[in-house]
Amino acid sequence: MATAALKRTPLYEAHLAAGAKLVPFAGFEMPVQYEGVRMEHLAVRSACGVFDVSHMGEVETSGPEAEALLQRLLSNDVSKLAVGGAQYSVLCREDGGILDDLFSYRLADDRYLTVTNAANHERDFAWFEEHAQGFDAEVSDAIDDYAMLAVQGPEARSIVAELAESELPSRMHTATLGIAGDQMLVCGTGYTGEDGVELLLAPKHAAGVWGALTAAGARPAGLGARDTLRMEVCFHLYGNDMDEHRNPIEAGLGWCCNEGTGFIGSEAIAAVRERGTEQKLAPFVLTGPGIPRQGNAVISGGQEVGLVTSGTLSPSLEVGIGMAYVPVELAEPGTEVEIDVRGKLRAARIESKPLYRKEG
């Protein structure tokens, strides 16, 4: 893709000023790192980092039958999502294949905001619109209405609280309040395994809020650190760890599927849950040197038995880590396998989630 075709977030200038290395990502020119992935990662684990995730998309669903429509689209039980709550779910095809993974926030009785992955946003929105037929609900594309910042780390809440006009919502809750003088949706969610908040705000306010957060001690962190942080806690990345050819059961996302609600794909998923899957997504660590990467083969008994979907060097654990689809009988924690890293066989052990646990 030519650079000219890439979109920029409202923080583009702020990223340049902070020394960011910008790369194309899902059609946007995004900061992959500032000073270094490892340092930014460790800053989030020990203090506080702020990520520009304005490339993420938003879809608003409103109207008397908004809940009924979302119950049909999303895998989780939307009736359990109260006003001011947050809920994770997957969006599936009829055959159970995963179209996206999403966070939905209930803003009012009849109004929800759903955050999409940038690369899937157009397809998701089209899917929402198509299935809204027959429901007394309106679906609107809100991608241009919001910038999004993720403030994450053990000090994130105290840094944001200093700038907030009222109390921050607790984990998995959301509220509209003023931060650094501007009204925004504050959500107790994140993608790092740390405490923190995500801010959904008007693009015109993004630069000011970013400046206030960094001045208060939040360190700019790029998509590189976001990726290593989520891998350490085994959060899925759409396109790596699941896609439309994988179902939520084998991806380990059965916990966010409630087939009793009759969502699109629920019958197929109920059948898979009943009969079991051949493969399962399993986290692993290398027990010796090397860094596993997406696309590496998993080897057991000299045979290729699976595929690495995400891999990196863990900055916290200082070993190679990853996730791979392996046969269910090999997915048990403690199982020894090998990873074929560009022709070199690296010793690995299947682990349980998460790979990184906070001390104490």
Partner 1 sequence: MAEESYPDDLRYHQEHDWVRIEDAEATFGITWYAQDALGEVVFYEPPEVGSQASKDEAYAEVESVKAVSDVYAPLSGEIVAVNEAVAEQPELVNQDPYGDGWLVRVRLSDPSEVEQLMDAAAYRELLAEEG
Please give the residue ranges that form the binding site for partner 1 (CB under 8 A).
Answer: 21, 32-33, 36-39, 41, 224, 227-228, 289-291, 293, 312-313, 315, 342
Cα–Cα distance for residue pair 279/251, rounded to 1 Å: 9
Smallest gap, in angstroms, from Cβ of residue 45 to partner 1?
A: 14
> Which is closer to partner 1, CB of 35 or CB of 244?
35
> Which is closer to partner 1, CB of 53 or CB of 180?
53
Residue 187, judged by CB atoms within 10 A of its CB (0-12, 13-18, 19+), counts as buried
Smallest gap, in angstroms, from Cβ of residue 322 to partner 1?
A: 13
Cα–Cα distance for residue pair 220/294, rounded to 1 Å: 26
> Which is closer to partner 1, CB of 152 or CB of 228?
228
Residues whose CB falls within 8 Å of the CB of residue 318, separated by 6 or more in sequence, listed in order: none
> Which is closer to partner 1, CB of 141 or CB of 227?
227
Smallest gap, in angstroms, from Cβ of residue 42 to partner 1?
A: 11
> Which is closer to partner 1, CB of 124 or CB of 232?
232
Cα–Cα distance for residue pair 159/311, rounded to 1 Å: 31
Smallest gap, in angstroms, from Cβ of residue 36 to partner 1?
A: 5
Smallest gap, in angstroms, from Cβ of residue 192 to partner 1?
A: 15
How many alpha carbons lie under 13 Å from residue 118 in its C-beta half-sphere? 21
How far the first Cα of the chain sits from its last, in Å, is: 46
Smallest gap, in angstroms, from Cβ of residue 334 to partner 1?
A: 25
> Which is closer to partner 1, CB of 57 or CB of 320?
320
> Which is closer to partner 1, CB of 228 or CB of 277?
228
**Are the CB atoms for 64 and 136 separated by under 8 Å?**
yes
Smallest gap, in angstroms, from Cβ of residue 31 to partner 1?
A: 13
Cα–Cα distance for residue pair 7/19, rounded to 1 Å: 19
**Are the CB atoms for 182 and 202 separated by under 8 Å?**
yes
Smallest gap, in angstroms, from Cβ of residue 145 to partner 1?
A: 31
> Which is closer to partner 1, CB of 58 or CB of 232?
232
Cα–Cα distance for residue pair 12/3, rounded to 1 Å: 14
Distance of CA 275 to the CA centre of its chain: 28
Cα–Cα distance for residue pair 342/198, rounded to 1 Å: 38
Starting at the earlier edge strand, list the strands of the sheet with 57-62: 86-92, 98-108, 111-116, 57-62, 138-141
Cα–Cα distance for residue pair 56/52, rounded to 1 Å: 10
